[in-house]
Amino acid sequence: MRAAGTPPQGHGAAAGPAATPQRADWTIDQGWERYSAAEHAVWKRLFERQCRLLPGRACEEFVRGMRALPIGADQIPDFRRLSEVLLRHTGWQVVAVPGLVPDEVFFDHLAKRQFPAGNFLRRPDQLDYLAEPDVFHDVFGHVPMLMNPALADYMQAYGEGGRRAQSLGVLANLSRVYWYTVEFGLVQEPGGLRIYGSGIASSFRESVFCLQDPSPNRLRFALERVMRTGYRIDDFQETYFVIHDLAELLELARVDFGPVYDQVRGKPEYQPGQVLSSDQVIHRGSGSYHGAKRRS
């Protein structure tokens, strides 16, 4: 866990899966009836402050997805009701898990168009950051985008590709693609850059940082490039990758990653803040934010 005052809302392999599960697929009951009034109140705080930030920052599809779903300020959403709506739109469902689950389990859910969402909520002293994906990150951040057909197919393709990447020894490369799209992706809209990544959309401070701060790089998304780029799991990203539109994800879902893995295998990793001469630069970051931290 990092110092107070530091940022976001991503999650990586840092926390590690919870204890041994009762069911093989790690699902549990959401236990919606057991949320306390205090937990619903924390949800409300998170929901309201994030909803104030997202107009003009979140992409159109995120806003539209949110609007069509039974997600509101007053209570933590009930996964059964979310699933009814999602199923009708894109064939996805939300299932409850205790937190991070092993990679294989995560992939198998996504391959079946089931999104595993943490059923617990962060404490009031963790509003800005916690390492594990909780119900706010998973539901507020991910579920609206699962209403979008392109992202819905892309997520399933990631689940299907995950096991293959493991067996080929290239899971790290695939994980970077997931990280820089599903979790921290930006999309170019006519009005400017917008957020579609769930790690950003569920983070109060990174929602502003990723678009308005001069520090991070904003580069055109390129598959091989991203596969070779390390990322930060415990702070704001140093680089965001920008797609043209969400249809680009649909194309990506159809690409055979096999030959791309062959291209990147064994090649050195780029640092999270590095800019290459081959990059299409939208904004070259000053690096001031992470630079100041490295000096202190």
What does the binding site for ligand HBI look like in residue numbers (CB under 6 A)?
13, 97, 100-101, 103, 106, 116, 133, 175, 178
Q: Look up residue 16 and give its DSSP letter.
A: -
For residue 44, the minimal CB distance to ligand HBI (Å) is 23
Length of the chain: 296
Contact of residue 217 among Fe ion, ligand HBI, none (CB under 5-8 Å per partner type): none
For residue 49, the minimal CB distance to Fe ion (Å) is 19
CB-nearer residue toward ligand HBI: 29 or 48: 29
CB-nearer residue toward Fe ion: 133 or 273: 133
Contact of residue 165 among Fe ion, ligand HBI, none (CB under 5-8 Å per partner type): none
Q: Look up residue 25 and give its DSSP letter.
A: T
CA distance 285 to 238: 8
For residue 296, the minimal CB distance to Fe ion (Å) is 29
For residue 108, the minimal CB distance to ligand HBI (Å) is 11
* Contact criterion met (CB below 8 Å) for 163 and 107: yes
Paired strand residues for 116:
95
CB-nearer residue toward Fe ion: 7 or 133: 133
- Residues 186-205, mask of contacts with Fe ion (x by CB under 5 A): ------------x-------
Write out the E strands in 172-293.
186-189, 192-195, 217-220, 239-243, 281-283
Token readout for 52 is 């104030």
Q: What is the DSSP string of 100-135?
A: ---HHHHHHHHHTTEEEEE-----GGGSS--SS--H
Helix (H, G, I), strand (E, B) or coil at 97: strand
Contact of residue 216 among ligand HBI, Fe ion, none (CB under 5-8 Å per partner type): none
For residue 274, the minimal CB distance to ligand HBI (Å) is 22
CB-nearer residue toward ligand HBI: 97 or 193: 97
* Contact criterion met (CB below 8 Å) for 195 and 168: no
Phi, psi for residue 143 in degrees, rounded to 5: -65, -40
Contact of residue 103 among Fe ion, ligand HBI, none (CB under 5-8 Å per partner type): ligand HBI
Contact of residue 178 among Fe ion, ligand HBI, none (CB under 5-8 Å per partner type): ligand HBI
For residue 192, the minimal CB distance to ligand HBI (Å) is 28
CB-nearer residue toward ligand HBI: 95 or 211: 95
CB-nearer residue toward ligand HBI: 173 or 215: 173
Q: Tell which positions 132-151 bind Fe ion, by CB under 5 A.
A: 133
* Contact criterion met (CB below 8 Å) for 203 and 9: yes
Token readout for 296 is 């202190």
CA distance 210 to 61: 18
For residue 123, the minimal CB distance to Fe ion (Å) is 19
Burial (0-12, 13-18, 19+ Cβ within 10 Å), 127: middle
Number of Cβ atoms within 10 Å of the Cβ of 17:
18
CB-nearer residue toward ligand HBI: 168 or 275: 168
Token readout for 146 is 């699962």
CB-nearer residue toward Fe ion: 173 or 198: 198
Contact of residue 106 among ligand HBI, Fe ion, none (CB under 5-8 Å per partner type): ligand HBI
Which residues bind to Fe ion, rule: CB under 5 A?
133, 198
